[in-house]
């Protein structure tokens, strides 16, 4: 958990918005059969997916 928060901070993202996105969307992804699915949860991809002001900068 701490590593996800620190990753968000290092990338200038709001940790709460980042974690919320991951926890809401990760359960519906099949990361076992599609290893590339995890890339959708990298900070850059999450920022693009949300495209909202509250995810950038703390």
Cα 31 from Cα 16, distance rounded (Å): 23
What pLDDT sits at residue 6? Answer: 92
What pLDDT sits at residue 51? Answer: 67
* Tens digit of each residue's pLDDT (9 = 90 or more) over 1-58: 888 899 888 888 889 988 998 999 888 888 788 888 888 888 888 888 876 545 444 4
45, 51 contact by CB (below 8 A): no
Which residue, among 29, 51, 53, 32, has the nearest Cα to 40 in the 3D structure?
A: 29
On whether the pTM is more than 0.85, the answer is no
Instruction: Please state, in angstroms and as integers, the Cα–Cα distance from residue 4 to each residue in 9, 24, 33, 45, following that order.
Output: 9, 15, 23, 14
What pLDDT sits at residue 58? Answer: 45
């Amino acid at each position: 958990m701490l590593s996800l928060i620190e990753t968000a901070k290092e990338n200038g993202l709001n940790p709460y918005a980042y974690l919320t996105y991951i926890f809401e969307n990760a359960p519906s992804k099949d990361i076992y059969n599609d290893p590339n699915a995890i890339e959708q949860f990298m900070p850059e991809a999450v920022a693009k997916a949300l495209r909202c002001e509250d995810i950038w900068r703390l």
